[in-house]
Structure 1
Amino acid sequence: MGFKYLNKEQDIFDGDDGEDVYANEEQLQARLEYFEDQLAGLSEGAPIEERITSLLEIGRIQVERYKGADAWEKAFTAFNLAQQDELWELAVEACDVMFLSEGPDALVALGHALWLGVTFPIDPEITVAMLQHLVEESPEEADTRAVAAAAAHYITSVRCGADDELTFFTSQMLASVADKHSHITDQSTFDLWRKTLKLDEPEVFLKKLSGAVDQLVDDKWWIDRDKIKAKLDNET
């Protein structure tokens, strides 16, 4: 079962012939011009969310058009605007666009998306999508895949509840990871696998996830994590 929060539409290059590809490119160009006009038409006093949203839409379209450099530029601008106003969900979406642009620092962007998506109680569907990126980027036998899937299931359990469809999805994602990681095919061996890797202990697997994020970012942080943590501590 696949899951993509920010890319739910059919791939634009799934057409059967060249005419379909050409038609889709025309549609993308029309969408691009629409959002560029929207962005250009914003007044100085317009809500910052509108500017960020337009930038992200342009970035996503450029990802679809394989214009990675332009997608990165728009998304990074959106990220900076979002973090200035502490719009963390939009900041994560901007990181997702940067990751999908496949730029030189795409994994750095993914690391930021993961840290922010886990730290802040944003839409859990977005957080799960970022964790799924980490699953897909990691070798099948790597413990990082298991840690990411366990974190996704834990987050949906906390933010959505045990009976939510997203929680069911993350349970299936964890089962799939277990199968590919250690050829787990039944409940008893799954329970043993989960206990052996301490995937039933959030304080353990979340710390491992933090280590994986640090490896992705490699000290290229665009945010002040200590300042954010201090503010969150004061608020609680």
Structure 2
Amino acid sequence: MSDFEIDEAMFGNKAQAAHPEMSLEEQLQLHQQHVAELPEDAPAIDRARARLDVAELLLALERKDEAWQEGRDIIDTFLNEEAWQDAVETYNVLFQCEQPASLSALGQGVWLAVTFPIMPQTTITMLNHIIDETPADADGAAVAAITSHYIADLRAPEDKHESLTFLTSKILADVARRHSNVESQEQMDMWLKKLELEDPKAFLPRLSMVIDVLVQDDWWFDREAVREKLPVH
């Protein structure tokens, strides 16, 4: 596992952050009441976002079966509405529910997080899950770590760029150390070259292979149709 824990505050757990003075059970009851009181004609995405808050709190309470059901019920709404940030946050919950399809959820979430310019903190968090799930001597963690660093450099806003790239460089160094006992910059340069991690045109297709292994053809959306929504594909 990575030595660098990703702060869930980076992910934007709005449900817990909104009422830090309340217990998780009290927060859950509050958010469940909010869902119940939504008008019947409330926009589907508003209802889904309210239920995502519930799912996050259920997960925090280790009620993983219930959190899974909430997340699975709302993911299609976010996908249909092209609400990619919300979709990835939902996939994050689904992965952590430790259900039979949780690895598929992780792969799909990572694909969306890398494909679309959502919050870079979210993408880093999702890629870190791959690192945690990958054996120390496997290349998949290296591919996830270099992609994380690439995304941070490419997408982080100016006021977050230094802190995020510092974090991802540390994650990359940690992965290199456990993969090949890399300790110096010279060794790092050699390691990056050996594993072909210097060019995104080389490592991004390899990330796609890692994602395919995770998902195992259990896609919950049409990737080709989603690709068509990109400005360049």
TM-score (norm 2): 0.88
Deviations 1:157-181 (A, max 9, x none): 1112795211111011101100000
Mapped pair 1:218 → 2:216: yes
Q: Determine if contact 1:108/1:218 at 8 Å carries over to the other structure.
A: yes
Counterparts of 1:223 and 1:210, CA distance in 2: 16
Counterparts of 1:190 and 1:129, CA distance in 2: 23
Counterparts of 2:157 and 2:62, CA distance in 1: 38
Counterparts of 1:132 and 1:38, CA distance in 2: 32
Counterparts of 2:127 and 2:53, CA distance in 1: 22
Residue 136 of structure 1: aligned partner: 132
Rg larger in structure = 1
Deviations 1:76-132 (A, max 9, x none): 122111011110110000000001111111100001110000000000000000000
| 1:8 to partner: Cα distance | 8.5
SS at match of 2:94: helix
Mapped pair 1:87 → 2:87: no
How many residue pairs were aligned? Answer: 220
| 1:44 to partner: Cα distance | 3.2
SS at match of 2:230: helix
SS at match of 1:164: helix
| 1:74 to partner: Cα distance | 0.5
- 1:59 is matched with which residue: 40, 45, 55? 55
1:69-148 to structure 2, matched below 5 A, reads: 69-148=65-144
* Structure ranking higher on relative contact order (CA contacts 8 Å, 6+ apart): 2
Residue 227 of structure 1: aligned partner: 225
Tell which deviates more after alignment, 188-197 or 163-172: 163-172
Q: Determine if contact 1:59/1:74 at 8 Å carries over to the other structure.
A: yes
Q: Determine if contact 1:151/1:205 at 8 Å carries over to the other structure.
A: yes
Residue 166 of structure 1: aligned partner: 164
Tell which deviates more after alignment, 160-169 or 142-151: 160-169
Counterparts of 1:83 and 1:161, CA distance in 2: 25
Q: Determine if contact 2:51/2:74 at 8 Å carries over to the other structure.
A: yes
Counterparts of 2:117 and 2:87, CA distance in 1: 13
Counterparts of 1:100 and 1:217, CA distance in 2: 15
Which residue identity is paired with 2:201? E
| 1:65 to partner: Cα distance | 2.1
Residue 6 of structure 2: aligned partner: 3
Residue 41 of structure 2: aligned partner: 45
SS at match of 2:167: helix
Name the % identity: 37
Counterparts of 1:78 and 1:147, CA distance in 2: 30
- Structure 1 stretches of 5 or more lacking a match? 10-25
